[in-house]
Amino acid sequence: MPSSDRYSLIGGKHRKIKISALVVLLLAVGIGIGILLGYLIAFSIHYEPEPSCGSPCQDADPTVSSKLMASMEATNIRGFLSDLSSKPHLAGTPEDFETAEYIQQKWLDQGLDSATIYPYHVLLSYPDDTKPNKVQILNDDGSDNYTCVDMEENLRPEDQNPNIVKHFNAYSAIGMAQGDLVYVNYARVEDFDYLATEQPTLNLTGKIFIAKFGKIFRGNKALNSQERGATGLILYSDPADYGSDDPTAKVYPDGWWLPGTGAQRGNLHVSDYKGDPLTPGYPSNDYMSRIDMEDTYLPDIPVQPIGYDDALAFLRELDGPDAPSNWQGGLGITYKLGPGFTSRGRKVKMDVHTTRERKWTYNIVGFIRGAIEPDRYVIVGNHHDAWVYGSVDPSSGTAAMLEISSAFGKLVKSEEWRPRRSILFCAWGAEEYGLIGSTEWVEDFAKNLGARSVAYLNIDQAVNGDWYMRAKSSPLLYQAIFNAAKKVTDPSDADKTVYEVMVERNGDYDNPEIPYVSNLGSGSDFAPFMYRIGVPGLDLRYTYDRSLGISSYPLYHTAFETFYVMDQFIDPDFNYHLAASRVMAEITRDLSDALVIPFNCQDYADRLKYAVDSLKTSYQQDMADNSINFESLDSAVENFTASAQELYERTGEVDRENPLAVRSINDQLMGIERAFIDPLGLPSRPFLRHIIYSPSSTNYYASASFPGIVDAMFKIDEDPNQDERWKLVAEQMSVAAFTIQSAASTMKDYQL
């Protein structure tokens, strides 16, 4: 009888209760301990300190932004710029390669995961040391009357350097031209139209043209001139475009204004494809076959830049009718059209020996591997080649980029933080020769970049003035720019953000509450990303007050663009560099770390609507007269707008704990710009594939909206083949409508 045994063992009722209490107590203690142990055991078995699927769902760490900003310093940027602009570093020279190595070393030191040099063997162009380029006035006996200087006057002993390249424009034809001079203003299409209309007896054929730099890309000036029969083209920077009205304004080295011997170097590559002229569509690696020189789009005539001192010698001698008042410049003379000089026997002679030769150029790519999505790229880029010292263009941007990469490198190196997505810092070679380094690299890696790139962020001239931060951008990135600019104090006023100064000094025309952001146009390395493979781009810089009325910062592409001018006049404290760098760093952080990519598709819808409205203003009547209406284009924009709204809502509602749902949404956001790419390209411009925006046909620097349509309408009245041209317009209208419709379809909820 075990129970009685037990009872007897502990004895009596009283004891029984006591012992029962003890049993309960002991059991309870045991259970208590047990629960704790069991809990711990369960926890230790099942707990995963970093749940395998946890980190993919993690959103950006909000503290990183301020850490990045705090770690950036103006003096560092000054130091980088001082190094970079200490000597000329023209593409294809030994100093160019040294610059590449400098950047590579910096990135390795800063703690990036890798820094790789990508070389390409490309067609570049230089003055021939043995045969100097000459622009002269000859007397009627053929003797020399006047010869232009071939180099900036040395105005500051420290600027002297044997490697300063002489005046030239890259890819000029080699050739000798002799004859009468004609002044053609900026050599734009509208300038020649004016001459054709208002000066019908002025025969341009066989003449040498003189034109001012500014307004349009110089390559288009060369193209326009050779199409009008010029045998040579002289380009110069007029004081009205590169000087000041202010009598107290001082030229270099006493100020930032252009002295009379400064000539604007620059390339004349007029094809739509840019990149190496010899390998359209493919990378210039060692085995790629090259096209023949005669199949390239390079000028057929000699082109040479001069300073305004020399230009005065030519223009003051010009004969013929007065140029119209809006063609007059700042040389203090009455500009005449020509042809020829008042001293009848005198002629102009150009003797140009600018070479075209294959050289190596180098891109450097610094890589930070993304912690969660290493196969998504946020790309920050700037070119490293300069015409001479390049303290503004491009080294102010290179210096800024190095400080940005340093800030990211510090956090990565210390293992404190790593961005969700990969960041690529790119230092491009030979941009000055026509976006060559970036274009070749995009051609080389188009498939990876097309599939993986979130955005391309360009900083070419970080600072060319101190008035406000100017942004060019794809509409997708407007909000990312604004958000970053709101987080950074403007150097001009400690109480204002960069954003507030942007609004104040460069408000949007239609909506002055927000900053004006222009379309990208071209002119820097965002072009191959945006127009070839549909990676949304932006370009930021601090710039000067547009009311100065100048065509660019005055010393642009001259030997006077030194560290000194930046350090003394443009940004003495490097605070504008710092502000630009901080904004760029914040955009980079945001794009690389936010769980959901911060693209705004509704801004794109608004811009499309705006672009169609502009088209209507220009062409609706004309088109209606030729039975072409806007119905399909309007309907496409409506659908795009509705789809953008739908995607916007889905983005807001996405299950942020489901990493694949988030990735799908992000893929759709990344696909929007891509959807505007047509592999067939624009008519006659197969390498410009963005149907909504592209560089203008008449000015590579500028942006055109609906370029296919605008080009089809360009001077349509003058075309003898009206049927064919209007058929082209109809075709381009339907291609534009289809492209927008198909972009709308990419934003829907996966069912086609």
User: Which of the residues 432 through 461 are near a second copy (CB under 8 A)?
Assistant: 444-448, 451-452
Q: What is the DSSP string of 382-396?
A: EE---SSS-TTTTHH
Q: Which is nearer to a second copy, 406 or 668 (CB)?
A: 668
**618 Cβ contact partners less than 8 Å away, ≥ 6 residues apart:** 713
Nearest distance, CB of residue 365 and a second copy, angstroms: 7
Contacting range for a second copy; rule: CB under 8 A; set: 155-163, 456-464, 646-654, 727-735: 727-735
- Residue 398 corresponds to which tokens in the numbers above? 């290179």
Name the residue nearer to a second copy (CB basis): 36 or 70: 36
Give me the least distance between CB of 519 and a second copy, in Å please: 22
Q: Which of 17, 21, 23, 70 binds a second copy (CB under 8 A)?
A: 23
- Taking each helix axis as running N to C, give the angle between helix 575-593 and helix 74-84, from 0 to 180 degrees, rounded to the nearest 10: 100
Site for a second copy in 127-166 (CB under 8 A): none
Q: What angle, rounded to 10 degrees, do the helices at 659-674 and 722-746 form?
A: 170
28 binds a second copy (CB under 8 A): yes
- Which helix (H) or strand (E) segment holds residue 76: the answer is helix 74-84
Integer-rounded Cα Rg, in Å, for the chain is 32
Nearer to a second copy, 164 or 476 (CB): 476
Stretch that binds a second copy, among 262-270, 300-308, 641-649, 740-748 (CB under 8 A): 740-748
> What does each C-alpha distance from 676 to 117, 198, 479, 641, 749 come to in angstroms?
31, 41, 20, 15, 19
Taking CB under 8 A as the criterion, the residue among 12, 16, 17, 18 binding a second copy is 18
Ranges within 616-635 binding a second copy (CB under 8 A):
631-632
Q: Between residues 284 and 575, which has the closer beta carbon with respect to a second copy?
A: 284
Q: Which stretch binds a second copy (CB under 8 A): 102-110, 472-480, 703-711, 741-749?
A: 741-749
Which residues inside 66-125 make contact with a second copy, applying CB under 8 A?
113-114, 116
Choose between 46 and 513: whose C-beta lies nearer to a second copy.
46
Residues 508-537 close enough to bind a second copy by CB under 8 A: none
Determine how many CB atoms are found less than 10 A away from the CB of residue 396: 34
Question: Which one of residues 33, 176, 293, 624 is an interface residue with a second copy (CB under 8 A)?
Answer: 33
Among 149, 288, 313, 548, binds a second copy (CB under 8 A): 288
Residue of the chain from 56, 232, 239, 434 that contacts a second copy (CB under 8 A): 56
Closest approach, Cβ 724 to a second copy, in A, equals: 10
User: Are 270 and 298 contacting, i.e. CB atoms less than 8 angstroms apart?
Assistant: yes
Contacts of 145 (CB under 8 A, 6+ apart): 136, 137, 138, 139, 346
Residue 16 is a binding residue for a second copy (CB under 8 A)? no
Site string for a second copy, 355-374 (x = CB under 8 A): ----------x-x-x--xxx
Nearest residue to 133 via CA among 95, 162, 173: 173
Query: What is the contact mask toward a second copy in residues 267 to 286, using x (rule: CB under 8 A)?
Result: --------------xxx-x-
Using rule CB under 8 A, residue 39 touches a second copy: yes
221 binds a second copy (CB under 8 A): no
Q: For residues 627 and 379, what is the distance between their CA atoms, to the nearest angstrom?
A: 45
Q: Binders of a second copy among 669-708, rule CB under 8 A?
A: 671, 674-675, 679-680, 686, 689
Nearer to a second copy, 56 or 259 (CB): 56
Bin 563: left if φ > 0, else alpha if -120 < ψ < 50, else beta. Answer: alpha
CA angle 740, 741, 744 (to 5 degrees): 90
- Rounded to whole angstroms, the Cα distance separating 131 from 588 reads 47
Min dist. Cβ of residue 156 to a second copy (A): 42
Task: Report the distance separating Cα 208 and Cα 233, nearest Å.
Answer: 6
Q: Whole-number minimum distance, CB 674 to a second copy, in Å? A: 7
Q: What is the DSSP string of 616-658?
A: HHHHHHHHHHTT--SHHHHHHHHHHHHHHHHHHHHHHHS-TT-
Nearest Cα neighbor of 82 from 563, 635, 695, 619 is 563
